[in-house]
């Protein structure tokens, strides 16, 4: 007899885990940008094992830039 498989869908939480200040966000952005630069260098040199790291780093940089811009707009209001 075949067993019925049940699939469970998991939803991704979009809630912020912690609130960061503008300075912390800018420090994180600088760190992520340097990580991205190192990943790109490693990829050109053929040392990078997982090139998906570049895509994830780019998205992290974009998220941080968006958060920084939102904080700056919040302060101006």
Residue 8 forms part of a structural domain: no
Residue 17 forms part of a structural domain: no
Residue 34 forms part of a structural domain: yes
Residue 50 forms part of a structural domain: yes
Residue 4 forms part of a structural domain: no
CATH number of the domain encompassing residue 58: 1.10.287
* Each residue's pLDDT tens digit, 54-67: 999 999 999 999 99
Domain span at residue 42 reads: 22-76
**How far apart, in Å, do the first and last CA atoms of the chain sit?**
65
Residues 6+ apart with CB under 8 A from 42: 48
- pLDDT for position 18: 77
- pLDDT for position 4: 61
Cβ atoms 39, 56 nearer than 8 A: no
Residue 69 forms part of a structural domain: yes
- pLDDT for position 8: 63
Q: What's this model's pTM, rounded to 2 decimal places? A: 0.73
- pLDDT for position 42: 96
Helix extents (H) in 1-77 = 22-45, 52-76
Length of the chain: 77
* Each residue's pLDDT tens digit, 7-43: 666 666 566 567 889 999 999 999 999 999 999 999 9
């Amino acid at each position: 007899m075949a067993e019925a498989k049940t699939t469970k869908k998991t939803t991704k939480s979009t809630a912020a885990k912690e609130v960061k200040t503008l300075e912390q966000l800018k420090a994180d952005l600088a760190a992520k940008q340097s990580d991205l630069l190192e990943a790109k260098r490693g990829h050109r040199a053929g040392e990078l094992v997982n090139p998906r790291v570049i895509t994830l780093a780019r998205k992290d940089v974009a998220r941080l830039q968006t958060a920084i811009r939102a904080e700056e707009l919040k302060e101006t209001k």
